[in-house]
Amino acid sequence: MRRLSAVVLIAVAILLLAVISPAQGQQSSQNEPTTSVPRLITFNGALRDRAGHVMSGIISVRFALYREQTGTAPIWSEIQNVQVDEQGHYTVLLGAYTGDGLPTDLFTSGESRWLGVQTQSAGEEEQTRVLLVSVPYALKAADADTIGGKPLSAFVLAQPENGTSTDGVKSQAIQSFFSGNAPTASPISGTGTSGNLAKWTDNSGTLGNSVVVEQNNNIGIGTPAPSTPLEIGGSAELLRLSGTANTMMSINSSGANHKNRGFLLDQFGKFYIYNLTDGVPEFVIDANHQIGVGTANPTAPFDIFSTGPAFAHVEGTSPGIDVGWLIKNDAPGGRQWAIRSSATGQMLFRDDSAGIERLTLDSVGNVGIGTNAPGAKLDVNGTAKATGFTGDGSLLTNLNAANLTGNVANSRTTATAANTANSIVLRDASGNFTAGTVTASAFSGNGSLMTNVNASTVNGVQAAALQTRGITYLGGCETCSILQDTDDQPMIYLNVIGTMTINSVICYSDTGTTSINLHRAGSVNNVLSTNLQCSTSPTAGTLFTNGEGTLNLNDSLDFVMVSAGTPPSTHRVTVVIKTTVN
């Protein structure tokens, strides 16, 4: 106990002597070199993705230290944004992203330390851990020659400037310390505002307000009332990041589907908005003022790249206002053009230099050239010229024969009544002509009868009367028991003709308030969009559920009794279905 007390007294005495003799202490520290222990570790590595492909660019990487080669939780970790070259190589300083570098207690136990490296891209796993060797342990060895991180020379007693003995002064200082009268520091003066960060306003120890304010857990620089976690006020350049190589500011989020991003200015003059989570550039402005979206190397003033569908989205919501792109060439002879979506639903290709719509595409697919109100699939206001025309056999109408020049293929100039190939048919004074077999894709009449036609020789012709089909279903009878809600009937009709369209459905009943519907076999959807009421003077149902009013070959119809009435009183229903064969 006495030995410990002696050690304590000696330590106190040394500290007191160091306090009362600062000049000599400072002189000794200037003569003795000090040791600054770096707490950073240089580490070199290479990055590849799960498929073994080399990774490059700026990539977010997690570095972690472990006690074991496998398993266990990390005892230290940090995430850095790493610049990776085209071969996948990189160099980092471990601890650079952590306040005071690597904690000193990581290497005090003498145990092995293993380093794990893992990119922060989705699905990537940690690489095989590597053993750290001599470099980290130099942190502990370098600290062994210091006391509290200071060299021994910092504790040499100082001599007074006048060269006189200090024994009496030291004795007085020790007595003052144990009597409670130790020397005090010089007073600090000045005033300030609550919430402002203080600063020295002169070299005499006077304090005052700085431009930094903390208010409601918000930090303000140049503003007295910050409303966000960090707000910078001013009227000129507010924030500058300077560096000798790549300079970056990152924005990180911990949300469920977060993407960490960064603003990067590289040493070659390229400005990036970088997706640090996926390791890809999303927006680039290069040194030649070219903009890239989805590409780090734009080859045009505006370059968009995507591995999937690529669209430039332009949208407006103001009524009566067109939205579009403006394309202008200011070179001699150049013009200004606009591609616009009009407020009336048209796509316009406008010659802004002349103030004219050169081409219009309307909402139903009509194209107008020289007109902004096309009335056909192609409507040309002017002369159309082509090296050839090919039709589908339909007529060209309203043509001025005088304007037809050149030769018409397979034309004939002399009419004949004979069966001559490619000839013009000769008609009599009444417009009639005689011909053998006539083949056409369609016939259109004026409503008059076709007389003296042998029906057995009419092939491929379907008059409206021949196309109409009637389907009748009888449910119950006059003397049968009353129909119930459960009296459904499957397959009242099977279509063996071909595709047909249901035009109308009528339901007759002897009495009661029965309502019915139809289903196509295999479908739970009603054919009629509303249930049909049966009566002695019924109204036809002509509204059909979308797609259910068409019967394809081999389709069948089911009768559905929706309601037999309350109470049921109907003995018989007759359903008449009118269809047209397509």
Could you tell me where the DSSP H helices lie in 187-341?
A: none
Phi, psi of 456 (to 5 degrees): -70, -15
Distant-in-sequence contacts of 185-194, Cβ < 8 A, 24+ apart: none
User: E strands within 256-408?
Assistant: 261-265, 271-275, 280-285, 291-293, 302-304, 323-328, 336-341, 347-351, 356-361, 367-369, 378-380
Question: Which stretch of DSSP H or E encloses residue 410?
Answer: none
Record: fold of 41-143: Immunoglobulin-like (2.60.40)
The model's pTM is 0.32
The rounded distance, in Å, linking the Cα atoms of 127 and 520 is: 61
Phi, psi of 107 (to 5 degrees): -120, 20
SS3 percent helix, strand, coil of the chain, rounded to 5, is 10, 30, 55
The pLDDT value given to residue 19? 36
Q: Record the tokens describing residue 39, joined without a space.
A: 């707490």
Q: How far is CA 254 from CA 251, 257, 258, 259, 260, in A?
A: 11, 8, 6, 9, 9
The rounded distance, in Å, linking the Cα atoms of 136 and 132 is: 7
The pLDDT value given to residue 23? 38
Q: Are 314 and 326 within 8 A, CB to CB?
A: no
The pLDDT value given to residue 202? 85
- In DSSP terms, which residues pair with 89 in a beta bridge? 46
Any idea what the Cα angle at residue 488 is, between residues 486 and 489, rounded to 5°?
A: 150
Backbone region of residue 403 per phi and psi (left: phi > 0; alpha: psi in -120 to 50; beta: other values) = alpha
The rounded distance, in Å, linking the Cα atoms of 516 and 531 is: 6
Question: How buried is 163 (Cβ within 10 angstroms: 0-12 exposed, 13-18 middle, 19+ buried)?
Answer: exposed
The rounded distance, in Å, linking the Cα atoms of 249 and 283 is: 15
The rounded distance, in Å, linking the Cα atoms of 171 and 104 is: 38
The rounded distance, in Å, linking the Cα atoms of 40 and 20 is: 37
Please name the amino acid found at residue 453: V
The rounded distance, in Å, linking the Cα atoms of 78 and 116 is: 11
Question: How buried is 22 (Cβ within 10 angstroms: 0-12 exposed, 13-18 middle, 19+ buried)?
Answer: exposed
Edge-to-edge strand ranges of the sheet holding 532-533? 489-494, 556-563, 515-520, 532-533
Record: fold of 464-581: Jelly Rolls (2.60.120)
The pLDDT value given to residue 85? 92
Contacts of 340 (CB under 8 A, 6+ apart): 322, 323, 324, 325, 347, 348, 350
Q: How far is CA 95 from CA 80, 98, 230, 538, in A?
A: 9, 5, 25, 89
DSSP state of 398: S
The rounded distance, in Å, linking the Cα atoms of 108 and 102 is: 12
Q: Are 571 and 484 within 8 A, CB to CB?
A: no
Please name the amino acid found at residue 522: G
Number of CB atoms found within 10 A of residue 509's CB = 26
Phi, psi of 59 (to 5 degrees): -130, 135
Q: Record the tokens describing residue 345, joined without a space.
A: 């639903």
- SS3 (DSSP) at 26: helix
The rounded distance, in Å, linking the Cα atoms of 557 and 505 is: 12
Q: How many helices (H) and strands (E) does the chain have?
A: 5, 33
pLDDT tens for each residue of the chain, 582 residues long: 333 333 333 333 333 333 333 434 344 444 444 444 557 888 999 998 888 889 999 999 999 999 898 888 999 899 999 999 999 999 999 988 877 788 877 777 777 888 999 998 888 889 989 887 655 555 555 555 555 555 555 555 555 555 555 455 545 545 554 555 555 555 667 778 888 888 888 887 788 888 899 988 899 998 888 988 888 888 777 777 776 777 778 777 767 777 888 888 887 788 888 787 877 888 899 988 899 888 888 888 888 888 877 677 777 778 878 887 788 888 888 898 888 888 888 888 888 888 888 999 998 999 999 898 898 889 998 888 888 777 776 767 777 766 666 655 555 555 666 666 666 777 777 777 777 677 776 777 776 656 666 655 566 555 566 788 889 999 999 889 999 999 999 999 999 988 999 999 999 999 988 999 999 988 889 999 999 999 999 999 899 988 888 999 999 999 999 999 989 999 999 999 999 988
Domain locations in the chain as residue ranges: 2-34+152-178, 41-143, 260-304, 323-380, 464-581
Number of CB atoms found within 10 A of residue 19's CB = 14
Q: Are 483 and 562 within 8 A, CB to CB?
A: no
Q: Record the tokens describing residue 376, joined without a space.
A: 């056909």
- SS3 (DSSP) at 92: strand
Cis peptide before 187, with omega less than 30 degrees from 0? no
Question: How buried is 90 (Cβ within 10 angstroms: 0-12 exposed, 13-18 middle, 19+ buried)?
Answer: buried
- CA 131 remoteness from chain centre: 42
